[in-house]
Amino acid sequence: MMKRPRLISANPYEKDVKQDENLGDLVGRLPDDILVNIISRLTLKEAARTSVLSSRWKYLWTFTSSLKFDPGRSILRYTLGMNPSEEERSKYINWVNKVLESHRGSINEFKVIFDLGDAHASSITNWIYTAISKRVQSLALYFIHLGPTYTFPQECCNILKNQCGIKSLRYLCFYGVNVTGEILEFFIYNCPLDGLYVVWSSTLSSLKVVGSSTQLKYLGINYCRNLKEVKISAPNLLFFDYTGPKIKLHVENVPQLFDVTIGGSDRVEPGQVISPIVSYFPQLKNLDLRFYADEVYKQFKNCGLPKLRHLTLQVLPCTHKRLFWLASILNKCPILEKLTLKLHSQFFVVGGRVIQHKICRFPLPNPQSSS
């Protein structure tokens, strides 16, 4: 964690002399920066509630480095299609605005999650400016909205370019935010980004993550339905997660990429998944395949992943009796240590249940002789 400037410069040990008087105010002995460190680990609601403890605590919470505007359980209703009223939306926006107004100091984490869209663009854009001016390290916008999606303004980049706060941004997540490849590349090349996640952006058509200067370690692109092309050449990349339509994927110079998650629709044509993965990522250690089609798994017959240690597969309940194709997979991954099967119904994860089989360590039983 970044070291904060001391809020008060008093020597914390001045009061140490009184250490036998355990009846005193215990926390009162701590300097403000430790109390703010503690407060920053609470939820925003819990943090704000400390304002009422005593006069010393009244404003301490406004220095919290974690601003996560979590609406609680109500967000679950919205994901199930029950929309909030416009009044509820303004209430949420006012909440964020009011807290940002009273907030002092810098922010490590800023996260908004609500049913908001393009109609609320001016507020949202302001939040981004404020968070970046407060040297945010992790910025996450999650919008679940049926109406027009919030579009990240292109001109925003020009304004942000001159802000020194942009040099603190290490993690960026746009969920339900329309962005272009140009905007994402602005962040990749102008911030010391470790992680970038883009989900449900319909305006994203191509993305280039190229260059030895990028220190990106985690890249996730999910459900961007108009995406056509992704180019990756990133020496520091450790993890890549792609789910969405069929795209042109160019990958080179990813010596550290050991973790890959790939998913798509059922209509993926056989022969189009495994062999590109194998040719691009022969060094893979962990692979999570989010396809339901049996066809995809049958492709393992033709090629293998010699270094794979952990494989995760999605299984539909209706196909569970036909798991015989697992045999061909096990045969093609000679040093596999762990196989995880995730059981999905047609629409939802069944209670989030994960069936996990720990495979015995070497040598693997020969699947063909045992079947």
Partner 1 sequence: MAIMYALKSSDNEIFEVEQKVIEQSETIKKMIEDGAATGEIPLQVSSKTLAKVLEWCKQRQHKTVENENDDNKGKRKKERDEDDDIKEWENKFSDELKADKDVLFDLLLASNYLDLPALLSFLCQLVADMVAGKMPEEIRRMFNIENDFTPEEEKAITAEHGWAFQP
> How far is it, in rounded angstroms, from Cα 254 to Cα 278?
13
| CB of residue 298 to partner 1, shortest distance in Å | 30
Q: List the structure tokens of 354.
A: 């994960």
| CB of residue 259 to partner 1, shortest distance in Å | 15
Q: List the structure tokens of 34.
A: 């430790």
> How far is it, in rounded angstroms, from Cα 92 to Cα 143?
12
Q: List the structure tokens of 176.
A: 């339900």
| CB of residue 333 to partner 1, shortest distance in Å | 17
Tell me the residue length of the chain.
371
Integer-rounded Cα Rg, in Å, for the chain is: 25
| CB of residue 14 to partner 1, shortest distance in Å | 10
| CB of residue 22 to partner 1, shortest distance in Å | 5
In the complex with partner 1, the residue whose CB is nearer, 24 or 147, is 24
Contacts of 28 (CB under 8 A, 6+ apart): 56
Residue 363's CB is within 10 A of a number of other CB atoms, namely 8
In the complex with partner 1, the residue whose CB is nearer, 97 or 233, is 97
In the complex with partner 1, the residue whose CB is nearer, 137 or 243, is 137
In the complex with partner 1, the residue whose CB is nearer, 76 or 323, is 76
Residues 172-211, interacting with partner 1 (CB under 8 A): none
Taking CB under 8 A as the criterion, the residue among 5, 8, 9, 13 binding partner 1 is: 13
Q: List the structure tokens of 279.
A: 């040719």
In the complex with partner 1, the residue whose CB is nearer, 94 or 275, is 94
Contact (Cβ atoms closer than 8 angstroms) between residue 146 and residue 83: yes
H helices, E strands: number in the chain:
11, 17
Contact (Cβ atoms closer than 8 angstroms) between residue 341 and residue 313: yes
| CB of residue 81 to partner 1, shortest distance in Å | 24
Taking CA 367 as the corner, what is the angle to CA 365 and CA 371, rounded to the nearest 5 degrees?
120
In the complex with partner 1, the residue whose CB is nearer, 310 or 342, is 310
Collapsed DSSP state (helix, strand, coil) of residue 363: coil
Residues 21-60, interacting with partner 1 (CB under 8 A): 22-31, 33-34, 37-39, 41-55, 57-58
Contact (Cβ atoms closer than 8 angstroms) between residue 334 and residue 304: yes
In the complex with partner 1, the residue whose CB is nearer, 74 or 202, is 74
Residues 86-115, interacting with partner 1 (CB under 8 A): 95
In the complex with partner 1, the residue whose CB is nearer, 53 or 349, is 53
By CB under 8 A, is residue 9 in contact with partner 1? no
Q: List the structure tokens of 329.
A: 């997979």
> How far is it, in rounded angstroms, from Cα 115 to Cα 144?
5
Token pair 């339901």 in the structure block, residue: 292
| CB of residue 284 to partner 1, shortest distance in Å | 17
Q: Binding marks (x or -) toward partner 1, 335..364, rule CB under 8 A?
A: --x---------------------------
Contact (Cβ atoms closer than 8 angstroms) between residue 124 and residue 116: yes
Q: Binding marks (x or -) toward partner 1, 301..340, rule CB under 8 A?
A: ------------------------------------x---
**Site residues (vs partner 1, CB under 8 A):** 1, 12-13, 16, 19, 22-31, 33-34, 37-39, 41-55, 57-58, 95, 337
